[in-house]
A and B are shown apart, each in its own frame.
Chain A
Amino acid sequence: MSMIKRNRIALIFLLVALMAPLFTDNQYYLYIVTLSFIWTIAVYGMNLIGGYTGQLSLAHAGFFAIGAYSLGLLTVDANVPYWFAFVLACLITTVVGFFVGLIALRTKEHFFAIYTLCVGYIIYLVIYQWDELTGGVRGLIGVPPPSPIGPISFESAESNYYLVLAFLVLVFVFMKFLTESLIGRTYVAIRNSEELAQTIGINTMRQKLVSFVISTFLAGLAGALYASFVRFLGPEISYTMTTFDMLTYLIVGGIGTLYGPLVGTFLIVTITQSLQFMEEYRMLIFGPLLVFLVIFYPRGIVGGIQMWKAKRQFKKRQKMKRTSSTSTHEGGD
Protein backbone atom coordinates (compact mmCIF):
# COMPACT_ATOMS: atom_id res chain seq x y z
CA MET A 1 0.00 0.00 0.00
CA SER A 2 2.63 2.52 1.04
CA MET A 3 4.71 1.60 -1.98
CA ILE A 4 1.80 2.51 -4.25
CA LYS A 5 1.27 5.74 -2.38
CA ARG A 6 4.91 6.75 -2.52
CA ASN A 7 5.14 6.13 -6.22
CA ARG A 8 1.70 7.37 -7.16
CA ILE A 9 2.97 10.04 -9.56
CA ALA A 10 5.03 7.50 -11.46
CA LEU A 11 2.09 5.08 -11.52
CA ILE A 12 -0.28 7.76 -12.84
CA PHE A 13 2.22 8.55 -15.59
CA LEU A 14 2.46 4.86 -16.40
CA LEU A 15 -1.31 4.39 -16.48
CA VAL A 16 -1.79 7.37 -18.81
CA ALA A 17 1.02 6.13 -21.03
CA LEU A 18 -0.48 2.63 -21.17
CA MET A 19 -3.94 3.93 -22.08
CA ALA A 20 -2.83 6.60 -24.55
CA PRO A 21 -3.01 4.47 -27.72
CA LEU A 22 -6.60 3.53 -26.90
CA PHE A 23 -7.71 7.14 -27.11
CA THR A 24 -6.17 8.09 -30.40
CA ASP A 25 -6.17 6.56 -33.83
CA ASN A 26 -3.81 9.21 -35.05
CA GLN A 27 -0.62 7.36 -35.97
CA TYR A 28 1.25 10.63 -36.15
CA TYR A 29 0.63 11.49 -32.49
CA LEU A 30 1.71 8.05 -31.49
CA TYR A 31 4.85 8.43 -33.58
CA ILE A 32 5.76 11.72 -31.87
CA VAL A 33 5.18 10.38 -28.39
CA THR A 34 7.22 7.25 -29.12
CA LEU A 35 10.03 9.45 -30.39
CA SER A 36 9.89 11.58 -27.26
CA PHE A 37 10.15 8.41 -25.13
CA ILE A 38 13.27 7.38 -27.04
CA TRP A 39 14.87 10.77 -26.47
CA THR A 40 13.87 10.59 -22.82
CA ILE A 41 16.03 7.49 -22.39
CA ALA A 42 19.01 9.33 -23.87
CA VAL A 43 18.31 12.37 -21.71
CA TYR A 44 18.29 10.11 -18.64
CA GLY A 45 21.84 9.18 -19.59
CA MET A 46 22.82 12.82 -19.80
CA ASN A 47 21.08 13.49 -16.50
CA LEU A 48 23.05 10.81 -14.68
CA ILE A 49 26.48 12.16 -15.57
CA GLY A 50 25.53 15.83 -15.92
CA GLY A 51 22.75 16.26 -13.38
CA TYR A 52 23.70 13.84 -10.63
CA THR A 53 27.46 13.49 -10.98
CA GLY A 54 27.99 17.10 -12.06
CA GLN A 55 30.07 16.43 -15.17
CA LEU A 56 28.31 17.99 -18.13
CA SER A 57 28.91 15.73 -21.11
CA LEU A 58 28.22 17.23 -24.52
CA ALA A 59 29.09 14.09 -26.46
CA HIS A 60 25.81 12.33 -25.92
CA ALA A 61 24.39 12.83 -29.39
CA GLY A 62 27.55 11.11 -30.54
CA PHE A 63 26.95 8.09 -28.30
CA PHE A 64 23.31 8.07 -29.34
CA ALA A 65 24.50 7.89 -32.95
CA ILE A 66 27.02 5.16 -32.19
CA GLY A 67 24.20 3.05 -30.77
CA ALA A 68 21.96 3.83 -33.72
CA TYR A 69 24.58 3.24 -36.42
CA SER A 70 25.88 0.09 -34.72
CA LEU A 71 22.42 -1.41 -34.84
CA GLY A 72 21.82 -0.18 -38.36
CA LEU A 73 25.10 -1.47 -39.78
CA LEU A 74 24.93 -4.78 -37.93
CA THR A 75 21.44 -5.56 -39.19
CA VAL A 76 21.62 -4.05 -42.70
CA ASP A 77 25.20 -4.82 -43.74
CA ALA A 78 26.22 -7.71 -41.49
CA ASN A 79 22.84 -9.46 -41.30
CA VAL A 80 23.20 -10.07 -37.58
CA PRO A 81 19.93 -11.23 -35.94
CA TYR A 82 18.06 -8.21 -34.64
CA TRP A 83 18.13 -8.71 -30.88
CA PHE A 84 21.72 -9.88 -30.94
CA ALA A 85 22.61 -6.72 -32.87
CA PHE A 86 20.61 -4.73 -30.36
CA VAL A 87 22.67 -6.02 -27.45
CA LEU A 88 25.88 -5.55 -29.44
CA ALA A 89 24.95 -1.95 -30.27
CA CYS A 90 24.55 -1.12 -26.59
CA LEU A 91 27.78 -2.93 -25.81
CA ILE A 92 29.76 -1.12 -28.51
CA THR A 93 28.54 2.26 -27.28
CA THR A 94 29.44 1.33 -23.71
CA VAL A 95 32.95 0.23 -24.67
CA VAL A 96 33.55 3.43 -26.65
CA GLY A 97 32.10 5.36 -23.69
CA PHE A 98 34.52 3.64 -21.34
CA PHE A 99 37.58 4.65 -23.34
CA VAL A 100 36.36 8.17 -23.97
CA GLY A 101 35.53 8.53 -20.26
CA LEU A 102 38.94 7.25 -19.24
CA ILE A 103 40.54 10.21 -20.95
CA ALA A 104 37.79 12.84 -20.79
CA LEU A 105 37.30 12.52 -17.03
CA ARG A 106 40.85 13.60 -16.42
CA THR A 107 39.54 17.07 -17.23
CA LYS A 108 37.13 18.95 -15.01
CA GLU A 109 34.18 21.30 -15.22
CA HIS A 110 34.10 23.42 -18.37
CA PHE A 111 37.18 21.68 -19.71
CA PHE A 112 35.25 18.43 -19.51
CA ALA A 113 32.31 20.03 -21.32
CA ILE A 114 34.59 21.38 -24.07
CA TYR A 115 36.45 18.09 -24.37
CA THR A 116 33.28 16.05 -24.71
CA LEU A 117 31.88 18.61 -27.14
CA CYS A 118 34.91 17.92 -29.32
CA VAL A 119 34.50 14.16 -28.94
CA GLY A 120 30.89 14.51 -30.08
CA TYR A 121 31.95 16.54 -33.09
CA ILE A 122 34.62 14.01 -34.01
CA ILE A 123 32.02 11.23 -33.89
CA TYR A 124 29.87 13.34 -36.20
CA LEU A 125 32.76 13.88 -38.60
CA VAL A 126 33.59 10.18 -38.66
CA ILE A 127 29.98 9.27 -39.47
CA TYR A 128 29.74 12.03 -42.04
CA GLN A 129 33.02 11.32 -43.80
CA TRP A 130 33.34 7.55 -43.61
CA ASP A 131 31.21 7.04 -46.68
CA GLU A 132 31.96 3.35 -47.30
CA LEU A 133 30.85 2.33 -43.83
CA THR A 134 28.08 4.70 -42.81
CA GLY A 135 26.78 5.91 -46.14
CA GLY A 136 27.92 9.40 -45.22
CA VAL A 137 25.51 12.17 -46.02
CA ARG A 138 23.17 9.78 -47.90
CA GLY A 139 22.54 8.01 -44.65
CA LEU A 140 21.60 4.44 -43.89
CA ILE A 141 18.32 3.22 -45.29
CA GLY A 142 16.21 0.19 -44.49
CA VAL A 143 17.01 -0.56 -40.87
CA PRO A 144 14.64 -3.42 -39.97
CA PRO A 145 12.05 -3.07 -37.23
CA PRO A 146 12.59 -5.13 -34.08
CA SER A 147 12.14 -8.82 -34.90
CA PRO A 148 9.25 -10.54 -33.11
CA ILE A 149 9.72 -11.80 -29.57
CA GLY A 150 7.70 -15.04 -29.50
CA PRO A 151 4.18 -14.16 -30.64
CA ILE A 152 4.69 -10.37 -30.36
CA SER A 153 5.71 -8.63 -33.54
CA PHE A 154 6.70 -5.00 -33.87
CA GLU A 155 5.25 -3.96 -37.21
CA SER A 156 2.53 -1.59 -36.05
CA ALA A 157 2.94 1.82 -34.48
CA GLU A 158 1.17 0.62 -31.32
CA SER A 159 3.50 -2.31 -30.78
CA ASN A 160 6.52 -0.08 -31.26
CA TYR A 161 5.04 2.38 -28.82
CA TYR A 162 4.67 -0.30 -26.17
CA LEU A 163 8.14 -1.67 -26.82
CA VAL A 164 9.73 1.74 -26.31
CA LEU A 165 7.51 2.37 -23.30
CA ALA A 166 8.69 -0.92 -21.77
CA PHE A 167 12.31 0.16 -22.15
CA LEU A 168 11.53 3.59 -20.74
CA VAL A 169 9.88 2.03 -17.68
CA LEU A 170 12.93 -0.18 -17.15
CA VAL A 171 15.25 2.81 -17.46
CA PHE A 172 13.09 4.85 -15.10
CA VAL A 173 13.05 2.11 -12.46
CA PHE A 174 16.81 1.67 -12.82
CA MET A 175 17.37 5.41 -12.43
CA LYS A 176 15.07 5.50 -9.42
CA PHE A 177 16.88 2.63 -7.72
CA LEU A 178 20.26 4.08 -8.58
CA THR A 179 19.74 7.72 -7.66
CA GLU A 180 17.91 7.00 -4.43
CA SER A 181 20.55 4.54 -3.25
CA LEU A 182 23.90 5.04 -1.60
CA ILE A 183 25.45 4.95 -5.08
CA GLY A 184 23.36 7.91 -6.25
CA ARG A 185 24.29 9.79 -3.10
CA THR A 186 27.92 9.13 -3.91
CA TYR A 187 27.45 10.77 -7.31
CA VAL A 188 25.73 13.77 -5.74
CA ALA A 189 28.59 14.07 -3.25
CA ILE A 190 31.00 14.29 -6.18
CA ARG A 191 28.84 16.93 -7.85
CA ASN A 192 28.74 18.92 -4.62
CA SER A 193 32.47 18.90 -3.98
CA GLU A 194 34.96 16.58 -5.51
CA GLU A 195 37.50 17.57 -2.86
CA LEU A 196 35.22 16.69 0.01
CA ALA A 197 34.22 13.45 -1.73
CA GLN A 198 37.87 12.44 -1.91
CA THR A 199 38.54 13.21 1.71
CA ILE A 200 35.67 10.99 2.78
CA GLY A 201 37.28 8.15 0.91
CA ILE A 202 35.41 8.14 -2.40
CA ASN A 203 37.43 7.12 -5.43
CA THR A 204 36.01 9.96 -7.48
CA MET A 205 37.69 8.98 -10.74
CA ARG A 206 36.25 5.47 -10.62
CA GLN A 207 32.78 6.64 -9.61
CA LYS A 208 32.71 9.26 -12.34
CA LEU A 209 33.79 6.68 -14.88
CA VAL A 210 31.05 4.24 -13.86
CA SER A 211 28.48 7.02 -14.02
CA PHE A 212 29.75 8.11 -17.43
CA VAL A 213 29.72 4.57 -18.81
CA ILE A 214 26.13 4.01 -17.65
CA SER A 215 25.15 7.30 -19.22
CA THR A 216 26.67 6.32 -22.56
CA PHE A 217 24.95 2.95 -22.31
CA LEU A 218 21.60 4.72 -21.99
CA ALA A 219 22.43 6.97 -24.94
CA GLY A 220 23.37 3.90 -26.99
CA LEU A 221 20.19 2.09 -25.97
CA ALA A 222 18.12 5.07 -27.05
CA GLY A 223 20.07 5.20 -30.32
CA ALA A 224 19.41 1.53 -31.06
CA LEU A 225 15.68 1.99 -30.39
CA TYR A 226 15.70 5.07 -32.59
CA ALA A 227 17.35 3.26 -35.49
CA SER A 228 14.74 0.52 -35.69
CA PHE A 229 11.88 2.91 -35.04
CA VAL A 230 12.68 5.61 -37.59
CA ARG A 231 14.39 3.05 -39.86
CA PHE A 232 16.54 5.68 -41.51
CA LEU A 233 19.75 7.14 -40.12
CA GLY A 234 21.53 10.31 -41.17
CA PRO A 235 24.68 11.83 -39.72
CA GLU A 236 22.72 14.79 -38.32
CA ILE A 237 21.57 12.71 -35.32
CA SER A 238 25.15 12.87 -34.04
CA TYR A 239 25.48 16.60 -34.68
CA THR A 240 26.20 19.03 -31.86
CA MET A 241 22.73 20.54 -32.20
CA THR A 242 21.21 17.22 -31.18
CA THR A 243 23.23 17.30 -27.96
CA PHE A 244 21.99 20.80 -27.26
CA ASP A 245 18.42 19.73 -27.96
CA MET A 246 18.86 17.00 -25.37
CA LEU A 247 20.38 19.50 -22.96
CA THR A 248 17.37 21.78 -23.48
CA TYR A 249 14.99 18.93 -22.62
CA LEU A 250 17.01 18.24 -19.51
CA ILE A 251 17.19 21.85 -18.35
CA VAL A 252 13.52 22.56 -18.96
CA GLY A 253 12.44 19.38 -17.19
CA GLY A 254 14.91 19.68 -14.34
CA ILE A 255 18.58 18.76 -14.30
CA GLY A 256 19.46 16.40 -11.48
CA THR A 257 15.85 15.35 -10.84
CA LEU A 258 14.29 11.95 -11.41
CA TYR A 259 11.25 13.22 -13.34
CA GLY A 260 13.04 16.01 -15.18
CA PRO A 261 13.96 14.10 -18.36
CA LEU A 262 10.44 12.67 -18.58
CA VAL A 263 8.69 16.03 -18.26
CA GLY A 264 11.14 18.14 -20.23
CA THR A 265 11.47 15.84 -23.23
CA PHE A 266 7.75 15.19 -23.53
CA LEU A 267 6.85 18.87 -23.27
CA ILE A 268 9.45 20.21 -25.66
CA VAL A 269 9.04 17.49 -28.27
CA THR A 270 5.26 17.82 -28.35
CA ILE A 271 5.32 21.63 -28.24
CA THR A 272 7.89 21.74 -31.01
CA GLN A 273 5.66 19.54 -33.13
CA SER A 274 2.54 21.56 -32.51
CA LEU A 275 4.35 24.78 -33.31
CA GLN A 276 5.60 23.48 -36.60
CA PHE A 277 3.58 26.02 -38.57
CA MET A 278 5.82 28.72 -37.09
CA GLU A 279 8.91 27.16 -38.61
CA GLU A 280 12.12 28.71 -37.30
CA TYR A 281 10.19 31.44 -35.51
CA ARG A 282 9.53 28.85 -32.81
CA MET A 283 12.86 29.83 -31.41
CA LEU A 284 11.35 33.21 -30.52
CA ILE A 285 9.32 31.31 -27.94
CA PHE A 286 11.92 28.77 -26.86
CA GLY A 287 14.79 31.22 -26.45
CA PRO A 288 13.17 33.52 -23.88
CA LEU A 289 11.50 30.54 -22.18
CA LEU A 290 14.86 28.89 -21.66
CA VAL A 291 16.46 32.08 -20.34
CA PHE A 292 13.53 32.57 -17.96
CA LEU A 293 13.81 29.02 -16.68
CA VAL A 294 17.56 29.11 -16.15
CA ILE A 295 17.33 32.35 -14.19
CA PHE A 296 14.29 31.62 -12.04
CA TYR A 297 14.15 27.84 -12.00
CA PRO A 298 17.71 26.59 -12.38
CA ARG A 299 16.49 23.08 -11.68
CA GLY A 300 13.71 23.22 -14.25
CA ILE A 301 10.02 22.54 -13.93
CA VAL A 302 10.41 19.52 -11.68
CA GLY A 303 12.99 21.25 -9.49
CA GLY A 304 10.66 24.25 -9.20
CA ILE A 305 7.77 22.07 -8.09
CA GLN A 306 9.98 20.29 -5.56
CA MET A 307 11.12 23.59 -4.10
CA TRP A 308 7.57 24.89 -3.88
CA LYS A 309 6.51 21.71 -2.09
CA ALA A 310 9.44 21.89 0.34
CA LYS A 311 8.62 25.52 1.17
CA ARG A 312 4.98 24.71 1.76
CA GLN A 313 5.88 21.87 4.06
CA PHE A 314 8.32 24.09 5.93
CA LYS A 315 5.65 26.76 6.43
CA LYS A 316 3.19 24.17 7.65
CA ARG A 317 5.70 22.90 10.16
CA GLN A 318 6.49 26.46 11.31
CA LYS A 319 2.81 27.14 11.82
CA MET A 320 2.45 23.97 13.83
CA LYS A 321 5.43 24.94 15.94
CA ARG A 322 4.00 28.40 16.56
CA THR A 323 0.63 27.10 17.69
CA SER A 324 2.22 24.50 19.92
CA SER A 325 4.62 27.06 21.44
CA THR A 326 1.82 29.55 22.23
CA SER A 327 -0.14 26.89 24.03
CA THR A 328 2.84 25.94 26.17
CA HIS A 329 4.53 29.35 26.33
CA GLU A 330 4.93 29.29 30.10
CA GLY A 331 7.46 26.49 29.73
CA GLY A 332 9.39 28.33 27.02
CA ASP A 333 12.97 29.50 27.12
Chain B
Amino acid sequence: MLIETTGLTKAFGGLTAVDDVDVGIEEGKITAIIGPNGAGKSTLFNVISGFHSSTNGKITFNGEDITKKKAFNIAKLGIARTFQTTNLFEQATVMDNVVIGHRLRTKSGVFDALLQTPRLKREERACREKAEEVLTFVGLQKESDRLVSDISQEAKKRAAFAVALATDPKIVFLDEPAAGVNPEETGGLVALMRKMVNNGLTVCLIEHKMQMIMELADHIVVLNQGKKIAEGTPEEIQNNDTVIQAYLGGGEEAADAH
Protein backbone atom coordinates (compact mmCIF):
# COMPACT_ATOMS: atom_id res chain seq x y z
CA MET B 1 0.00 0.00 0.00
CA LEU B 2 1.33 3.43 -0.98
CA ILE B 3 -0.99 5.31 1.34
CA GLU B 4 -2.73 3.75 4.26
CA THR B 5 -5.02 5.32 6.84
CA THR B 6 -5.95 3.58 10.04
CA GLY B 7 -8.83 4.73 12.20
CA LEU B 8 -8.70 8.16 10.58
CA THR B 9 -11.17 10.55 12.19
CA LYS B 10 -11.84 14.21 11.60
CA ALA B 11 -14.39 16.07 13.67
CA PHE B 12 -15.47 19.67 13.20
CA GLY B 13 -16.97 20.45 16.57
CA GLY B 14 -19.89 18.07 16.95
CA LEU B 15 -19.83 16.93 13.34
CA THR B 16 -17.68 13.93 12.56
CA ALA B 17 -16.95 14.39 8.87
CA VAL B 18 -14.59 11.42 8.64
CA ASP B 19 -15.26 8.66 11.13
CA ASP B 20 -12.77 5.88 11.83
CA VAL B 21 -11.85 5.28 8.21
CA ASP B 22 -9.31 2.67 7.09
CA VAL B 23 -8.32 3.15 3.48
CA GLY B 24 -5.48 1.62 1.52
CA ILE B 25 -4.34 3.03 -1.80
CA GLU B 26 -2.37 0.60 -3.86
CA GLU B 27 0.57 1.78 -5.89
CA GLY B 28 0.07 2.04 -9.64
CA LYS B 29 -3.70 1.64 -9.40
CA ILE B 30 -6.69 3.91 -9.74
CA THR B 31 -8.62 4.17 -6.51
CA ALA B 32 -11.96 5.96 -6.48
CA ILE B 33 -13.70 7.36 -3.45
CA ILE B 34 -17.43 7.71 -3.89
CA GLY B 35 -20.36 8.53 -1.69
CA PRO B 36 -23.34 10.87 -1.52
CA ASN B 37 -22.87 14.60 -0.91
CA GLY B 38 -21.58 15.27 2.57
CA ALA B 39 -20.14 11.78 2.92
CA GLY B 40 -16.75 13.20 3.88
CA LYS B 41 -14.86 12.51 0.67
CA SER B 42 -13.31 15.94 0.30
CA THR B 43 -12.55 16.09 4.00
CA LEU B 44 -10.72 12.78 3.69
CA PHE B 45 -8.62 14.33 0.89
CA ASN B 46 -8.01 17.43 2.98
CA VAL B 47 -6.81 15.39 5.92
CA ILE B 48 -4.53 13.14 3.88
CA SER B 49 -3.00 16.11 2.04
CA GLY B 50 -2.37 17.90 5.33
CA PHE B 51 -4.88 20.73 5.01
CA HIS B 52 -6.77 19.68 8.06
CA SER B 53 -5.13 17.97 10.97
CA SER B 54 -6.77 14.71 11.87
CA THR B 55 -8.60 14.37 15.16
CA ASN B 56 -7.58 10.76 15.49
CA GLY B 57 -5.90 7.98 13.60
CA LYS B 58 -2.84 7.60 11.45
CA ILE B 59 -1.79 8.15 7.85
CA THR B 60 1.27 6.51 6.37
CA PHE B 61 2.92 7.11 3.02
CA ASN B 62 5.30 4.38 1.89
CA GLY B 63 5.37 3.26 5.51
CA GLU B 64 6.32 6.73 6.78
CA ASP B 65 3.98 8.38 9.26
CA ILE B 66 2.74 11.65 7.73
CA THR B 67 -0.20 12.29 10.07
CA LYS B 68 1.26 15.43 11.62
CA LYS B 69 2.99 16.83 8.55
CA LYS B 70 2.03 20.18 7.05
CA ALA B 71 0.53 20.44 3.57
CA PHE B 72 3.65 21.84 1.86
CA ASN B 73 5.85 19.11 3.35
CA ILE B 74 3.43 16.44 2.23
CA ALA B 75 3.60 17.88 -1.27
CA LYS B 76 7.38 17.64 -1.15
CA LEU B 77 7.13 13.92 -0.34
CA GLY B 78 5.34 13.41 -3.64
CA ILE B 79 1.66 13.70 -2.84
CA ALA B 80 -0.14 16.09 -5.17
CA ARG B 81 -3.77 17.07 -5.39
CA THR B 82 -6.24 19.13 -7.37
CA PHE B 83 -9.31 20.99 -6.15
CA GLN B 84 -12.95 20.85 -7.22
CA THR B 85 -12.64 24.46 -8.29
CA THR B 86 -9.42 24.49 -10.21
CA ASN B 87 -8.04 27.49 -8.27
CA LEU B 88 -5.92 28.59 -11.21
CA PHE B 89 -4.89 32.19 -11.72
CA GLU B 90 -7.28 33.25 -14.48
CA GLN B 91 -5.43 36.39 -15.55
CA ALA B 92 -2.18 34.57 -16.20
CA THR B 93 -1.22 32.24 -19.00
CA VAL B 94 -1.45 28.48 -18.67
CA MET B 95 2.34 28.31 -18.76
CA ASP B 96 2.72 30.84 -15.93
CA ASN B 97 0.32 28.82 -13.82
CA VAL B 98 2.15 25.57 -14.37
CA VAL B 99 5.72 26.88 -14.04
CA ILE B 100 5.27 27.47 -10.32
CA GLY B 101 4.26 23.84 -9.84
CA HIS B 102 7.91 22.82 -9.86
CA ARG B 103 8.92 25.48 -7.33
CA LEU B 104 9.07 22.97 -4.49
CA ARG B 105 12.02 21.21 -6.17
CA THR B 106 14.02 24.47 -6.26
CA LYS B 107 16.02 26.27 -3.60
CA SER B 108 16.45 29.85 -4.85
CA GLY B 109 15.58 32.65 -2.46
CA VAL B 110 15.48 36.42 -2.38
CA PHE B 111 19.26 36.76 -2.51
CA ASP B 112 19.41 34.64 -5.63
CA ALA B 113 17.01 37.12 -7.23
CA LEU B 114 19.00 40.09 -5.96
CA LEU B 115 22.31 38.72 -7.25
CA GLN B 116 20.80 36.95 -10.27
CA THR B 117 22.77 33.83 -9.41
CA PRO B 118 23.39 30.98 -11.87
CA ARG B 119 21.40 28.75 -9.54
CA LEU B 120 18.30 30.91 -10.07
CA LYS B 121 18.77 30.85 -13.85
CA ARG B 122 19.24 27.11 -13.80
CA GLU B 123 16.22 26.49 -11.62
CA GLU B 124 14.02 28.82 -13.66
CA ARG B 125 15.01 26.89 -16.77
CA ALA B 126 14.26 23.60 -14.99
CA CYS B 127 10.80 24.86 -14.00
CA ARG B 128 10.04 25.96 -17.53
CA GLU B 129 11.22 22.66 -18.99
CA LYS B 130 9.14 20.76 -16.47
CA ALA B 131 6.10 22.87 -17.30
CA GLU B 132 6.56 22.23 -21.01
CA GLU B 133 6.92 18.53 -20.34
CA VAL B 134 3.74 18.22 -18.25
CA LEU B 135 1.74 20.49 -20.58
CA THR B 136 2.67 18.21 -23.44
CA PHE B 137 1.73 15.24 -21.28
CA VAL B 138 -1.77 16.59 -20.60
CA GLY B 139 -2.17 17.78 -24.19
CA LEU B 140 -2.12 21.53 -23.63
CA GLN B 141 1.12 22.45 -25.37
CA LYS B 142 -0.82 24.55 -27.91
CA GLU B 143 -2.71 26.44 -25.21
CA SER B 144 0.32 27.20 -23.07
CA ASP B 145 0.43 30.91 -23.99
CA ARG B 146 -3.28 31.55 -23.60
CA LEU B 147 -4.85 33.11 -20.54
CA VAL B 148 -6.56 30.62 -18.26
CA SER B 149 -9.74 32.72 -18.46
CA ASP B 150 -9.82 32.09 -22.23
CA ILE B 151 -9.65 28.29 -22.23
CA SER B 152 -12.46 25.74 -21.85
CA GLN B 153 -13.49 24.13 -18.59
CA GLU B 154 -11.95 20.86 -19.72
CA ALA B 155 -8.68 22.58 -20.58
CA LYS B 156 -8.70 24.16 -17.13
CA LYS B 157 -9.03 20.71 -15.61
CA ARG B 158 -6.08 19.55 -17.67
CA ALA B 159 -4.11 22.62 -16.60
CA ALA B 160 -4.88 21.83 -12.97
CA PHE B 161 -3.60 18.28 -13.59
CA ALA B 162 -0.47 19.79 -15.11
CA VAL B 163 0.18 21.95 -12.05
CA ALA B 164 -0.11 18.86 -9.85
CA LEU B 165 2.13 16.82 -12.16
CA ALA B 166 4.79 19.54 -12.21
CA THR B 167 5.45 18.81 -8.54
CA ASP B 168 6.92 15.41 -9.53
CA PRO B 169 4.41 13.43 -7.49
CA LYS B 170 4.15 9.71 -6.85
CA ILE B 171 0.44 9.90 -6.20
CA VAL B 172 -2.17 12.38 -7.38
CA PHE B 173 -5.44 13.05 -5.58
CA LEU B 174 -8.07 14.41 -7.94
CA ASP B 175 -11.16 16.03 -6.44
CA GLU B 176 -14.00 15.64 -8.95
CA PRO B 177 -11.79 15.93 -12.02
CA ALA B 178 -14.70 15.60 -14.44
CA ALA B 179 -17.21 17.90 -12.77
CA GLY B 180 -18.71 20.43 -15.16
CA VAL B 181 -17.26 18.72 -18.21
CA ASN B 182 -19.38 17.20 -21.00
CA PRO B 183 -19.41 13.42 -21.71
CA GLU B 184 -17.06 13.53 -24.70
CA GLU B 185 -14.52 15.55 -22.81
CA THR B 186 -14.92 13.25 -19.84
CA GLY B 187 -13.67 10.47 -22.09
CA GLY B 188 -10.56 12.52 -22.79
CA LEU B 189 -9.92 13.04 -19.09
CA VAL B 190 -10.39 9.31 -18.41
CA ALA B 191 -7.78 8.58 -21.05
CA LEU B 192 -5.47 11.10 -19.42
CA MET B 193 -5.84 9.46 -16.00
CA ARG B 194 -5.08 6.08 -17.55
CA LYS B 195 -2.03 7.59 -19.17
CA MET B 196 -0.89 8.89 -15.78
CA VAL B 197 -1.16 5.42 -14.28
CA ASN B 198 0.63 3.87 -17.24
CA ASN B 199 3.46 6.30 -16.56
CA GLY B 200 3.92 4.90 -13.08
CA LEU B 201 1.72 7.28 -11.13
CA THR B 202 -0.89 6.31 -8.60
CA VAL B 203 -4.26 8.01 -8.91
CA CYS B 204 -6.95 8.50 -6.31
CA LEU B 205 -10.08 10.39 -7.26
CA ILE B 206 -13.41 11.56 -5.98
CA GLU B 207 -16.12 11.48 -8.59
CA HIS B 208 -19.88 11.48 -8.95
CA LYS B 209 -20.05 10.22 -12.52
CA MET B 210 -20.79 6.56 -11.86
CA GLN B 211 -20.34 5.28 -15.36
CA MET B 212 -16.93 6.80 -15.53
CA ILE B 213 -15.92 5.39 -12.15
CA MET B 214 -17.06 1.88 -12.94
CA GLU B 215 -15.11 1.95 -16.16
CA LEU B 216 -11.98 3.54 -14.77
CA ALA B 217 -11.36 2.48 -11.19
CA ASP B 218 -9.43 -0.58 -10.07
CA HIS B 219 -10.63 -0.19 -6.53
CA ILE B 220 -13.57 1.70 -5.08
CA VAL B 221 -14.08 2.93 -1.53
CA VAL B 222 -17.58 3.99 -0.55
CA LEU B 223 -18.15 6.53 2.20
CA ASN B 224 -21.44 7.45 3.77
CA GLN B 225 -21.88 9.93 6.61
CA GLY B 226 -18.16 9.85 7.31
CA LYS B 227 -17.93 6.07 7.58
CA LYS B 228 -16.53 3.58 5.11
CA ILE B 229 -19.42 1.30 4.21
CA ALA B 230 -17.82 -0.78 1.50
CA GLU B 231 -14.78 -1.26 -0.70
CA GLY B 232 -13.85 -3.51 -3.55
CA THR B 233 -13.75 -3.83 -7.30
CA PRO B 234 -16.40 -2.05 -9.41
CA GLU B 235 -18.35 -5.32 -9.79
CA GLU B 236 -18.38 -5.94 -6.06
CA ILE B 237 -19.54 -2.39 -5.36
CA GLN B 238 -22.27 -2.57 -7.98
CA ASN B 239 -23.65 -5.68 -6.31
CA ASN B 240 -23.21 -4.55 -2.72
CA ASP B 241 -26.56 -4.18 -0.98
CA THR B 242 -25.39 -1.63 1.58
CA VAL B 243 -24.02 0.60 -1.16
CA ILE B 244 -27.14 0.31 -3.25
CA GLN B 245 -29.28 1.24 -0.28
CA ALA B 246 -27.17 4.06 1.08
CA TYR B 247 -25.93 5.60 -2.07
CA LEU B 248 -27.99 4.65 -5.03
CA GLY B 249 -31.29 4.94 -3.24
CA GLY B 250 -32.58 1.41 -3.78
CA GLY B 251 -32.67 0.77 -7.54
CA GLU B 252 -30.07 -0.53 -9.97
CA GLU B 253 -31.22 1.90 -12.64
CA ALA B 254 -30.31 4.83 -10.43
CA ALA B 255 -26.70 3.92 -11.04
CA ASP B 256 -26.97 5.27 -14.54
CA ALA B 257 -28.80 8.42 -13.55
CA HIS B 258 -25.65 10.53 -13.55
**Which chain A residues have a beta carbon within 8 Å of chain B's beta carbons?**
174, 177-178, 181-186, 188-189, 192-193, 195-196, 198-204, 210, 214
Contact = CB atoms under 8 A, between A and B. Distances in A.
A198 B104 CA distance: 10
B72 A204 contact: yes
A189 B97 CA distance: 8
15 contacts: A178-B114, A182-B120, A186-B103, A188-B89, A189-B100, A195-B87, A198-B70, A199-B49, A199-B72, A199-B81, A200-B75, A200-B103, A200-B104, A200-B167, A201-B75
Interface residues of B, number: 38
B51 A198 contact: yes
Contacts of B73: 201
B92 to A, nearest CB: 8
Given A181-B108, A183-B108, A195-B51, A202 B103 contact: yes
Interface string B74-108: 01100011010001110010001001110110101
A195 B70 CA distance: 12
Nearest to B160: A196
Contacts of A195: 51, 83, 87
Interface string B41-58: 000000001110000000
Closest 8 CB pairs of A and B: A201-B104, A201-B75, A192-B89, A198-B71, A181-B113, A196-B87, A193-B87, A178-B113
A318 to B, nearest CB: 12
A183 B123 CA distance: 11
A178 B110 contact: yes
B110 A201 contact: no
B82 to A, nearest CB: 8
Contacts of B106: 182
A185 B96 contact: yes
A214 to B, nearest CB: 7
Nearest to A193: B87
Contacts of A201: 72-73, 75-76, 103-104, 167
A178 B80 CA distance: 27
Contacts of A184: 113
Contacts of B167: 200-201
A189 B80 CA distance: 16
A195 to B, nearest CB: 6
A174 B71 contact: no
B135 to A, nearest CB: 15
Nearest to B150: A314
B123 A182 contact: yes
A200 B127 CA distance: 13
A183 B87 contact: no
A183 B117 CA distance: 13
B112 A198 contact: no
Nearest to B116: A177
Given A177-B116, A182-B124, A189-B100, A198 B75 contact: yes
A213 to B, nearest CB: 9
B89 A182 contact: no
A161 B167 CA distance: 48
B251 interface: no
Nearest to A299: B91
